[in-house]
Amino acid sequence: MNDYSIIISSLLDNDFYKFTMQNAVIKLFPLAKAKYEFINRGRHSFPKNFAQILKENLDKMAHLKLSNEERIYLEKYCPYLDSSYLDFLNKYQYNPKEVNILQKGKNIRMYIEGLWSRTILWEVPLMAIISELYYRLTESKKISEQKITNITKEKLKIYKKLQVKIGEYGTRRRYSYQVQKWVLKTLTKKGNPFFIGSSNVHLSHIFSIKPIGTQGHEWIMFHAAKYGFNIADRIAMENWLNIYNGNLGIALSDTYTSPIFFKNFNKRLSTLFKGVRHDSGDPIFFAQETIKHYKKFKINPIRKKIIFSDNLDPYKVAYISSFCKKKINTCFGIGTNFTNDVGAPSMKIVIKMVKTLPEEKKKWISVVKLSNVKEKSTGKKNMIFFAKKNLHI
């Protein structure tokens, strides 16, 4: 079993937006608590002893610490993460007691609970471990570096021909750490000037590139629990501006559906944020609405950008980019199609915040994400109903 037990070897093997959100949480909501849950959307069957092997991996993660070299890298490439946060990260260690894993037959249940500022880092590495272990235990494919390099080069040819900016966002559902590393090796060698970076901080460090990302849905879901659904987007954006002063200025648009987001995205915020991220629903309709929104405020859309990040492949990128050309700037965050395109079916798994306890509240509050498509919504049915009613959706 030991050869399964060191999948995550660096504290930075995680998505960048987890660190940017953690920094903001420490500064604004240091006593808030969070609960997360594993959701097996694809109804995958897990092999015998899977939970046990997973736990062995988590126990190994307790020993991970930020190295001096990693801290120097963050200081150089992420200057908006201040020294007080880097001091916190220096002392940070994963606590496996925050994670509870149960296996019943072929089903896995998993819950994470603790201070939000601590538990926020679990989601991405946990998903990466689950994904890699699942393939190691259920697939017998021999994957070579040459094969991965060739597949990545072929995609790069298409993206270069389209002249689109692309980023790699594939940590959480990667086939393996090694596959992601090979993909990034090819992208950094052959991708200029179209490849703009990776969301994985550890691999960005290895290849001396800047990590990319801003915030995730949980940032806005927490604000809804604390301030209400109607103004969650706006206050989440205001708080983000207060922490980052215009850096990392991409707003996430679909936590409570895009129409609600645009209502909150007032002229000031539309001016100060560099653009928006699309993560669900029809991308062309979203692009049209975004352009219309900017024009309403007499903002030239060509000075703004949309980052598309919803289950992309070269065909979708070609379709979206041809529509947006000369109307609004685009960038494409490509995940599973880069890091898990080896012939095995990709996993449909997520880990989502399900409850939060803002410091001034007396009891846990269930959180929901509505998204632009029903299947991407998360949360308890009664809370989803309540949120929709509240927002008149």
pLDDT digits (tens, 9 = 90+) for 86-144: 999 999 999 999 999 999 999 999 999 999 999 999 999 999 999 999 999 998 788 99
**Residues 6 or more apart whose Cβ sits within 8 Å of residue 87:** none
pLDDT of residue 139: 86
Chain centre distance of CA 284: 22
pLDDT of residue 359: 85
pLDDT tens by residue, 49-66: 999 999 999 999 999 999
Banded pLDDT at 185 (limits 50, 70, 90): very high
Residue with tokens 């609970």: 113
pLDDT of residue 3: 56
Domains and CATH numbers, the chain: 2-141+344-391 (3.20.140.10), 145-339 (3.20.140.10)
C-alpha–C-alpha distance, residues 223 and 260, integer Å? 14
Give the residues across from 99 on adjacent strands. 112
pLDDT of residue 349: 95
Per-residue exposure over 126-162, b if at least 16 CB sit within 10 Å of its own CB, e if not: bbbbbbbbbbbeeeeeebeeeebbebbeebbeebbeb
pLDDT tens by residue, 333-373: 999 999 999 999 989 999 999 999 998 778 999 999 998 88
C-alpha–C-alpha distance, residues 368 and 263, integer Å? 19
Which position has the higher pLDDT, 189 or 360? Answer: 189
240-244: average pLDDT: 98
291-298: average pLDDT: 98
Which residue type does 349 have? I
pLDDT of residue 2: 44
Q: Are the C-beta atoms of 151 and 315 separated by less than 8 Å?
A: no
**Residue 206, phi then psi, degrees to nearest 5:** -60, -40
> For residue 361, how many other CB atoms are within 10 A of its CB?
13
pLDDT of residue 5: 59
